[in-house]
Each structure stands twice: as C-alpha cells, then as structure tokens.
Structure 1
Amino acid sequence: MDAATARMRLESMLAELDRSIRVLRGDPLTGWDRSPADAGSVLTDTDRNQAMLEAATAQRRAVVAALTRLDEGVYGRCADCGMSVPEGRLEARPEAARCVQCQARRERRR
C-alpha cells in the first residue's frame, strides 16, 4: 500500500474512532426514566459501553502510532523483526505494527 493511500485510510479510521469515542463517552441514559427493575440492564449497558470505549481507545492509539510510523518512514516494517509487513495484512489492518508471525508470538505471550 502506498503512503498516500495508507495515510488516507488511517486518517479516515482516526476520524471514525474519534466520533465513536465521543458517542461512547456520552451518557446515553440521561433523561431516561428507568424503573428500579431496570437497574441490572443499566449495569450491563454500562459495562458493555465501557468495554467498547476501551477497545476503541486502544485502536485509536494503534492508528495514531501507525500515522507516526508513516511520518518517520518506517510504516510497513515489523516493529519486532524489521521485515516487511505483508501487503494483505496492511490492507486488512492498516494500523498493524507487526508481521503475522511476530503478532502471533506477542499474543501467545499474553
């Protein structure tokens, strides 16, 4: 993927993530008149919202890091082994910092 296409995709992802994070940080329950019987579903909604916010924030960090790598001229190189990240991986995950093998090793260590 060429640098211009990568930048365009990453900036688009960043804008979408920023919108999602703004929505998730809002209080969707404000103004709702819920009965005490709904307390369990409110907790479930809050937990789900928090999990989505954490995931979106982590992905946002990855996109910002990818934009930084692009600016530094190292985008498309694995952060661990230095080899090229396959084109297909970058197409699927433009924010990817590692080749498939290094990412798999990293995930197994967790």
Structure 2
Amino acid sequence: MDDATARMRLQTMLGDLERSIAVLRGDPVAVRERSAADAGSDLTDADRTRAMLDVATRQRNAVLSALKRLEEGSYGRCLDCGRMVPEGRLEARPEASRCVQCQAKRERRR
C-alpha cells in the first residue's frame, strides 16, 4: 500500500474512532427513578460501554502510532523483527505494527 493510501485510510479510521469515542463518552441521560432490576441493567450497560470505549481508545492509539510511523518513514516494518509487514496485512489492518508471526508470538505471551 502506498503512503498516500495508507495515510488516507488511517485518517479515516481515526475520524471514525474519535466520533465513536465521543458518543461513548456522551453525557448520561437524565436520572430517573428505577427499580433494582433496572439499576442492575444499567450497570451491565455501563460495563459494556466502558469495554467498547477501552477497545476504541486502544485502536485509536494504534492508528495514531501508525500515522507517526508513516511520518517517520518506518510504516510497514515490523516493530519486533524489522521485516516488511505483508501488503495483505496492511490492507486488512492499516494500523498493524507487527508481521503476523511476531503478532502471534506477542499474543501467546499474554
């Protein structure tokens, strides 16, 4: 993927993520009296929203890091082994910072 295409895709992803994060951080709806069951449901919704916000924030950080690597001229190189990240991986995940093998090793360590 050429740099201009990568930059455009990453900036589009960043805009989408920032809009999603803003929605997830939105002001709570007006407080009203609720039953105990409703309060439990709200906790579940709050937990789900927090999880989605965490995922969106991590992905936003990955996109920002990819844009920085693009500016520095290191975009498309694996952070661990230094080899080129396959074109297909960058097509599927423009924010990818590792080749498939190094990413798999990293995930197994977790």
TM-score range, shorter chain: over 0.9
Bigger drift between 5-14 and 33-42 goes to 33-42
The two structures have a TM-score, normalised by structure 1, of 0.95
- Give the 3 Å change call, closer, same or farther, for CA 34–49 of structure 1 in structure 2: farther
Gaps of 5+ in 2: none
| Root-mean-square deviation over aligned CA pairs | 1.1
Indicate the residue corresponding to 1:57 in structure 2.
57
Percent of aligned positions that are identical: 70
Distance 2:67 2:25 in 1: 24
Listed one character per residue, the Cα deviations across residues 37-83 of structure 1 (whole Å, up to 9, x for unaligned) are: 30111000000000000000000000000000000001000000000
The two structures have a TM-score, normalised by structure 2, of 0.95
The answer to whether structure 1 residue 30 and structure 2 residue 29 are counterparts is: yes
Indicate the residue corresponding to 2:3 in structure 1.
3
Distance 1:34 1:93 in 2: 44
Distance 1:43 1:59 in 2: 24
> Number of residue pairs matched?
109
Gaps of 5+ in 1: none
AA aligned opposite 2:11: E
AA aligned opposite 1:90: L
Distance 1:34 1:9 in 2: 45
Bigger drift between 81-90 and 36-45 goes to 36-45
Q: Residue 34 of structure 1: CA displacement?
A: 5.2
Indicate the residue corresponding to 2:103 in structure 1.
103
